[in-house]
Amino acid sequence: MLLEDKKLLVTGVLTPASIAFTCARVAQEQGADIVLTSFGRAKSLTERAAKRLPNPPDVLELDVSDPDQLAEIGTELERRWGRVDGVLHAIGFAPEACLGQDDGLFAASWSDVATAVQISAWSLVGLVQAVRPLLPRGASIVGLDFDATVAWPAYDWMGVAKAALESANRYLARDLGSAGVRANLVAAGPLRTVAARSIPGFSAFEDVWGDRAPLGWDITDAEPVARAVVALLSDWFPATTGEIVHVDGGVHAVGA
């Protein structure tokens, strides 16, 4: 099994439709021991989803905008495991003004944008910093991404935040490399999740993605993305870091 005896921290599970849920399931099927994170009112949803995994894991409280909770997650994982072999960062949020507004980028205030960047990009670094003392040589950080090389309909400041995430990943690869820790992203095609449905105009992606993808694309199937995540969390990519692996049916590679 690819992840036998690996200890993984998995963020971003809200419901069984979450991409991170499928990642968690496939990781367990490949031998990993995992914990999930959630916070506030969403935690009860995450706990309900956790019960549907092959081995229902604990759900730890973590709001990535709270420095105290970031510190506490490191302390808890040190007590629990003594090490963290891998982290899945599947966290993103932007206020309503940042997405799908008629005025595009001009609709959001700096406060809105700052929230989007903090939660969707800075949190990758904050999360890694929280567990950094627990990362052994060979550990792997994987984040979920949506290709930020072009401007998408309605994605607006979230697209900018994803560009920041991609840049942050490259710098993490630089800063963690001497410790033998890898940092990579998986740029997924659009999938029908709770988060996706909250994006105005998301149906525009659904309508055309399958037609444009050379391999086709199923917006309800997160399994291909999860397999890529698990492969990167495993020891099978020992010399790959700072990379963005596209799992989108090939859309990123073709023109309109």
The alpha carbon torsion through 210, 53, 128, 63 (nearest 10 deg) reads 100
Residue 155 designated active-site: yes
Tally of CB atoms within 10 A around 191: 24
For residues 87 and 142, the answer to whether their CB atoms sit within 8 Å is yes
- Rounded to whole angstroms, how far apart are CA atoms 103 and 108? 9
User: Which residue's structure tokens are 């808890």?
Assistant: 76
**Which residue in 43, 51, 162, 171 is the catalytic one?**
162
Catalytic one of 43, 51, 155, 171: 155
Are 186 and 138 spatial neighbours (Cβ–Cβ below 8 Å)? no
Q: How far is CA 138 from CA 85, 97, 120, 250, in A?
A: 7, 40, 25, 29
Coil, helix or strand at residue 138 = coil
Which residues, at least 6 apart from 13, have a Cβ–Cβ distance to it below 8 Å? 20, 21, 24, 36, 38, 46, 49, 50, 90
Q: Tell me phi and psi for residue 191, to 5 degrees.
A: -130, 145
Count of residues for the chain?
A: 256
Dihedral angle of Cα 128, 131, 133, 139, to the nearest 10 degrees: -70
**225, two tokens:** 């993305």
> Known catalytic residues?
155, 162
